[in-house]
Amino acid sequence: MMADSTASPNAENLARLFPLPNLVLYPQIVQGLHIFEPRYRQLMADTLDSDMQFALVLLQPDWENDYDERPPIQEIACLGKVIAHEKLNDGRYDLQLRGISRIRILEELDDDKPYRTARFEPLHDIVPSQMSVLTAIRKEVATAILARFPEGGTTHKQIEELIHSDTPLGPLCDIFAYSLPLPLELKQQLLAECNVAARASQLASALRIPQPDRRFPPEFSAN
């Protein structure tokens, strides 16, 4: 089933939490998910019965010791909206979640739900007002990432087209942060950075550092 992809944080600023150990979601990115644990099947059922939204949040290190309870989570998460879903015969769900907003988790709620819920505040990009600053930072990111891919190749051309598109700098950095095989810690840092200039510079700096233990360049997708 498909849903309207437009959404905004609800008026109460309450979110169901879906903690994961190895995934960071960003606004406007669409992520496929498979729901199989009973507590998250209930989360999904409640989501479909209400605002179609829940937050994907990264677990902090050493989550394995307390996974079935309430292991610590990162403070900054991404609120998302379910835009497509299918309930399987055995009660599991396949779905697509579109990120809609960075959020800061303020407090978890003590309720009777089998999954975790929290009160949050939405976060917004802080964008430099000078066009010259935006242009210079965008060029910095472009130089850093294009140097990683063979000139004339399909991926190089895809990235060039994306960089020269009308995609704003903040979402552009989010696309690269999500798509590239960057360390998980860095992905979380980029999610937590609302200052677009700082986010772009941090991304560009990371791309200039060789990462021999990762497949780079990867198969890149702007979708």
The predicted-structure confidence for 199-217, as pLDDT tens digits, reads as follows 999 999 999 876 554 444 4
- Return the pLDDT at 1: 47
Backbone angle region of 7, left / alpha / beta, with phi > 0 → left and psi within -120 to 50 → alpha: beta
The predicted-structure confidence for 32-73, as pLDDT tens digits, reads as follows 999 999 999 999 999 999 999 999 999 998 766 766 678 899
> Is the pLDDT at 29 greater than 80, yes or no?
yes
> Is the pLDDT at 222 greater than 70, yes or no?
no
- Return the pLDDT at 68: 64
The C-alpha atoms of residue 80 and residue 102 are separated, in whole angstroms, by 9
- Return the pLDDT at 148: 87
- Return the pLDDT at 214: 46
Mean residue pLDDT across the chain: 89
- Return the pLDDT at 213: 47
Mean pLDDT of 102-112: 95
- Return the pLDDT at 66: 67
Name the one residue in this structure whose structure tokens are 């989570």: 73
Mean pLDDT of 19-29: 96
CB 145 within 8 A of CB 159: yes
> Is the pLDDT at 2 greater than 80, yes or no?
no
The C-alpha atoms of residue 179 and residue 23 are separated, in whole angstroms, by 11
CB 92 within 8 A of CB 34: yes
